């Protein structure tokens, strides 16, 4: 019973994430696309937690932690500017 | 009973994720989208973490989940600020 | 054949991955391609989780969703001569490559279907699980990496070293970033130590749970990337001599352990009874540092300035 | 019991097929782009996607069903593969940067 609920929730979540990813496809700006990646990051954390319960793998929560940390690194990497010569 | 409550939390969290996703698609301009997204997905993840903690029924697991949620909240708030600042800079430079 | 909700989830994941891959490969906007490739890596990590491969999910979350994205974003800053001509190939080459692609995919699929549905044959999995108790660790993936197939891992570290040497030989480092704002400085200040802690945890956990030198090394590299983004200059890393030793440390630890075994009358890289767990942890620690520094130097983009100052000082004195 | 086990095996094979064939398609798609695209950066991304397809097929073969532990040998191969892929990507990017500099001189 609970398995069906979790599985349905994962499916719906994935559909929601696919909807959000349309923004990564159409843009138009780089920041718009990056927001879409941020949504996929948070949604990915959520999906990993659900899969961890469903498949009974506790380490997937560790993976969720790593994903959350690296999403912040990616956002920082996007927005940094180099020192300029001029 | 606890499982039922957990399921309700998880299903409710989906509504917030959906709101964030639709906001990202429908709202005009980076800054408006930013608002919709960060609020929705943080609340959504919070509810989902609560539900998963109830269903998992393990204190250590619940603590780990709480840590993940806190991290995502702080990280996504800062990321949102950085992306907003970057969008402003682009506008000034062009 | 019964089709369940699981298969629906699998199909959705697979279609999304294909769609993202296609979108990242098509189109003329390189920025779009890079961002979509980052989404591709993130999704791949979820798929590893779905296929019960948490070790891979961890590594992909650190590398696919983070490090390679950061590397590509940095590369976007370099201008490219041929960027105008990203478009479609001419009619004949386009058709030929499309046919080639279909042929390849079809033969791949054919081989795959017969491998999955055909006779089970002798699989290595049984062998691996059967000997797990003697391997010194209880995580089967770590056992394969550092015990049963230790040769492969040794050579893999050699490949990594070769790639790093290539990067170091190609030029000096990129310009460091501008001074960050207060908020980013704050982010760097709390996220880098956290990355180091999680790396240490994964290294330790790798013996009995998903994790190990590769995941831990990738996270440490992410810490270097984060510090770099916060304006760190390369002379804040350990000195050039220490860096060189750290780079070869993983291979050195591996080889020394191997020769130790030969010296004790065992086969090269065969661990003495009862000591396997400790030796594996030692090798993994050295390998983690090598991997971290290799990937970190890749982000820095070439020889750190300290390496060159040293030789020029020698010349001027 | 025997019938249930057989059903479980079919259940597993369908998942293996879904991801394995996806892997094959990605491999071919990536290879084609690596051949026809002119931009070096696009080619580097293409090779990465192609490699990911091969990894996916490997991991799908290792899959043994919802509750069984999968075969660890392909997992170990793919794990080293992921690290090699990112270091090769880094080397390719460094070569690309050097090429651009050489063009300028």
pLDDT tens sequence for chain C (317 residues): 566 888 999 999 999 999 999 999 887 788 888 999 999 999 999 999 999 999 999 999 999 888 999 999 888 877 665 554 455 667 777 788 888 888 888 888 888 887 777 666 566 777 788 788 778 888 888 888 888 888 888 888 999 999 999 999 888 888 877 777 787 888 888 889 999 999 999 999 888 888 888 999 999 999 999 888 887 777 677 888 888 899 999 999 988 988 888 888 887 777 877 778 888 888 999 999 999 999 999 988 888 877 765 554 444 43
Q: Is D101 touching C (CB cutoff 8 A)?
A: yes
Asked whether C281 and C205 are in contact (CB, 8 A), the reply is: no
Chains with 3 or more CB pairs under 8 A to chain B: A, C
Task: State in Å, rounded, how far the first CA of chain A is from the last one.
Answer: 65
pLDDT level of residue A18 (50, 70, 90 thresholds): very high
Identify which has the larger pLDDT, D82 or C79: D82
Return left, alpha or beta for C209; rule: phi > 0 is left, psi -120 to 50 is alpha, else beta: beta
* Burial letters C34-56, b for 16+ CB under 10 A, else e: bbbbbbbbbbbbbbbbbbbbbbb
Pairwise CB contact (< 8 Å): B85 & A79:
yes
Nearest to B24 among A13, A35, A52 (CB): A35
Q: How far is residue C32 from each of residues C28, C73, C193, D26, measured CA to CA in Å?
A: 8, 11, 32, 19
Q: Please, which chains are in contact with C (at least 3 CB pairs closer than 8 A)?
A: A, B, D
| Greatest distance between any 2 Cα atoms in chain D | 74
Predicted local distance difference test score (pLDDT) of residue D53: 94
Nearest to A46 among B45, B75, B85 (CB): B45
Residue C186 with chain B: CB contacts under 8 Å: 78
Chains linked to A by 3 or more Cβ pairs within 8 Å: B, C
Q: Which of residues 90-109 of C touch B (CB under 8 A)?
A: none
Question: Which residues of chain A have a Cβ shorter than 8 Å from any chain B Cβ?
Answer: 1-2, 5-6, 9, 12-13, 16-17, 19-20, 22-23, 29, 31-32, 34-36, 38-39, 41-43, 45-46, 49-50, 52-53, 58, 61-62, 64-65, 68-69, 71-72, 75-76, 78-79, 81
Q: Measured between CA atoms, how close is C179 to chain B, in angstroms?
A: 14
Q: Measured between alpha carbons, how far is C52 from D59 in angstroms, rounded to an integer?
A: 9
Tokens of C208: 């009995």
Q: Hey, where are the domains in chain D?
A: 2-104
CB distance C82 to D40 below 8 Å: yes
pLDDT band at D102 (very low <50, low <70, confident <90, very high): confident
- Does C99 lie at the interface with D, CB-CB under 8 angstroms? no
The mean pLDDT value for A43-54 works out to 93
- Token match 């659900």: residue? A50
Say whether pLDDT at B72 is over 80: yes
CB D93 within 8 A of CB D80: no
Q: What is the pLDDT of residue C83?
A: 52
- Residue of A33, A41, A60 lying closest to C57 (CB–CB): A60
CATH class of residue range D2-104: mainly alpha
pLDDT band at B94 (very low <50, low <70, confident <90, very high): very low
Contact criterion met (CB < 8 Å) for D14 and C3: yes
- ipTM score for this prediction: 0.93
pTM of the predicted model, to two decimals?
Answer: 0.91
């Amino acid at each position: 019973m609970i398995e069906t609920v979790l599985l349905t929730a994962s499916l719906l979540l994935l559909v929601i994430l696919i909807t959000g990813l349309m923004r990564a496809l159409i843009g138009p700006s780089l920041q718009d696309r990056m927001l879409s990646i941020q949504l996929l990051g948070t949604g990915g954390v959520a999906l990993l937690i659900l899969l961890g319960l469903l498949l009974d793998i506790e380490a997937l929560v560790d993976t969720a932690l790593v994903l959350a940390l690296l999403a912040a690194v990616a956002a920082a990497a996007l927005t940094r500017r180099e020192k300029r010569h001029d | 009973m606890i499982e039922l409550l957990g399921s309700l939390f998880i299903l409710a969290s989906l509504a917030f994720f959906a709101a964030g996703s639709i906001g990202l698609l429908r709202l005009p301009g980076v800054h408006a989208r930013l608002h919709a997204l960060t609020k929705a997905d943080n609340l959504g993840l919070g509810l989902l973490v609560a539900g998963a903690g109830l269903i998992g029924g393990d204190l250590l697991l619940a603590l780990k989940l709480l840590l993940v949620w806190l991290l995502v909240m702080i990280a996504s708030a800062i990321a949102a600020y950085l992306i907003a600042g970057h969008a402003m800079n682009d506008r000034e430079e062009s | 054949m019964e089709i369940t909700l699981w298969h629906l989830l699998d199909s959705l994941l697979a279609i999304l991955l294909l769609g993202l891959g296609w979108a990242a490969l098509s189109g003329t906007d390189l920025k779009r391609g890079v961002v979509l490739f980052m989404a591709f890596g993130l999704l791949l990590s979820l798929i590893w989780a779905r296929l019960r491969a948490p070790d891979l999910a961890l590594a992909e979350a650190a590398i696919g969703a983070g490090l390679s994205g950061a590397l590509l974003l940095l590369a976007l800053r370099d201008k490219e001569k041929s960027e105008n001509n990203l478009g479609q190939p001419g009619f004949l080459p386009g058709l030929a490559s499309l046919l080639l692609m279909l042929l390849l995919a079809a033969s791949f699929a054919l081989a795959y279907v017969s491998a999955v549905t055909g006779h089970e044959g002798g699989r290595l999995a049984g062998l691996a699980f059967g000997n797990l108790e003697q391997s010194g660790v209880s995580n089967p993936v770590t056992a394969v990496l550092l015990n049963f197939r230790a040769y492969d891992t040794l050579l893999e570290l050699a490949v990594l070293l070769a790639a790093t040497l290539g990067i170091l030989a190609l030029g000096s480092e990129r310009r460091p970033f501008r001074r960050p704002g207060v908020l980013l400085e704050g982010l760097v200040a709390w996220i880098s130590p956290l990355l180091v802690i999680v790396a240490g945890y994964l290294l330790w956990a790798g013996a009995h749970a998903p994790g190990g030198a590769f995941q831990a090394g990738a996270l440490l590299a992410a810490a270097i990337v984060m510090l770099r983004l916060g304006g760190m200059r390369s002379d804040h890393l350990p000195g050039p001599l220490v860096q060189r030793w750290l780079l070869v440390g993983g291979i050195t630890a591996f080889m020394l352990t191997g020769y130790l075994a030969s010296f004790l009358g065992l086969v090269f890289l065969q661990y003495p009874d009862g000591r396997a767990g400790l030796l594996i942890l030692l090798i993994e620690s050295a390998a983690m540092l090598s991997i971290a520094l290799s990937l970190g130097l890749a982000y820095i983009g070439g020889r750190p300035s300290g390496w060159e100052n040293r030789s020029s000082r020698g010349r001027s004195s | 019991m025997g019938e249930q086990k057989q059903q479980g095996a079919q259940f597993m094979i369908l998942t293996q097929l879904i991801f394995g064939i996806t892997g094959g398609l990605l491999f071919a798609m990536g290879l084609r782009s690596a051949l026809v695209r002119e931009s070096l950066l696009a080619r580097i991304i293409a090779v990465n996607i192609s490699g990911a397809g091969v990894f996916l097929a490997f991991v799908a073969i290792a899959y043994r069903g919802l509750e069984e532990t999968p075969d660890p040998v392909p997992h170990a191969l793919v794990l080293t593969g992921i690290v090699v892929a990112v270091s090769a990507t880094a080397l390719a990017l460094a070569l690309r940067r050097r090429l651009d500099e050489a063009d300028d001189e």
